[in-house]
Amino acid sequence: MSYADKTLTCRDCGSRFVFTAQEQEFFASRGYENEPSRCQSCRAERRRGAGRFNGGSRPPAKMYSATCSACGAQTQLPFQPRADKPVYCSDCFRKQRSARR
């Protein structure tokens, strides 16, 4: 099969890039059916993990201060505590969890 260069648009940055005949031949030899949807720089950025949450770095969770219901120690929680539910520090949570098993 004969291939010709194609100009595609990157789905991330919107820039146009060339999907060369040689790249198309390589894709076909690997059995890939879809054309690339990102330019080379966005593909490289994605491989480094920037801009994604699966396997990449996640932004830090907002932490809330609370008092442990079991021992009274100050603790940090990644969720807003509710007044009608007890909250525990890491140690007391572990103890509560192992006591349920």
Mean pLDDT of 63-67: 92
Domain boundaries, the chain: 6-48, 64-100
Per-residue model confidence as pLDDT tens digits over 71-97: 999 999 988 999 899 999 999 999 988
Please report the pLDDT score of residue 58 as a whole number.
63
Per-residue model confidence as pLDDT tens digits over 2-37: 899 999 999 999 999 999 999 999 999 999 999 999
Q: What is the pTM of this model?
A: 0.47
What contacts 24+ positions apart, CB below 8 Å, involve 12-19? 12/38, 12/39, 12/42, 12/45, 12/46, 12/51, 13/39, 13/41, 13/42, 15/39
